[in-house]
Amino acid sequence: MLKNRMSNTDKFIVSVAFVCLLSILFLFVSLVATIYSTKIYKFDFCIQSQCIDYFANKITGVVVLAQFFGWFITLVAALGGAIIALRTYVTGVGNSNITNHIAHFSMFRDFLNSEINKRKKISPDSVDVHLWYNVIFPESKSGRLECSQNYRDHLNNIKEVVDEANSHMSTLSGKYKYQTHQRKIIEAFANFGVVMNNGPKNIFIDIEYEVFGLIDSVNSTFVNESPVFCKMERRYS
């Protein structure tokens, strides 16, 4: 279907050609009407200077009209050419952005899969690569590869969950509701596509630490100035 559709450039060329043909037809009709109205056709054929001057004087209006049409067509062609050039540039930039987006996402995916394979307690199926990437780089397709504030907020939320657990350990003499901590940390990880399940305290804490290591690896490569979770104190561990 796309092959049968005319491009904008083709449509513009056809339009200009149509205007040119229409102008030529109009000038031809005007010239013929002028010749008949002035009865120039009754004169004998003459190519002398005075004959040419006489003929040119009779069709002055047609000449002026031809000059106007020529100026108008040139203007339209120049403006149309500029618009087409601009559209071509914009299309090229858009295509370049998409190409860069695909390349950058592929690099992110390969890096993340490689880091997951280094960790025995994290399953590849528990990490949504597309969601994680889109949370970090929501405007990647537009050519912007800056870390989003939304992702930074999620990272700060994880830090707050850890700090809250540490606070409870200090105020409650070593006792805290680990089920509450699990629920909050699971929800925090899920915001960018990492799935964790509830489990025994020690096993959960070990998996949590591996996820922290995975997040730190991603952030150290793709994000500037982010919390380093593996270095955070975890009094509940």
Distance CA 59, CA 32 (A): 10
Tens of pLDDT, residues 68-114: 888 887 887 787 778 778 877 777 777 778 889 999 999 999 999 99
Is 17 buried (19+), middle (13-18) or exposed (0-12) by CB count in 10 A?
A: exposed
Q: Positive or negative, the Cα torsion across 106, 109, 113, 116? A: positive
CB atoms under 10 Å from CB of 179, counted, come to 11
Identify whether the C-beta of residue 184 lies closer than 8 Å to the C-beta of residue 161: yes
Tens of pLDDT, residues 35-81: 788 777 777 777 777 777 777 777 787 778 788 888 887 887 787 77
The whole-model pTM stands at 0.65
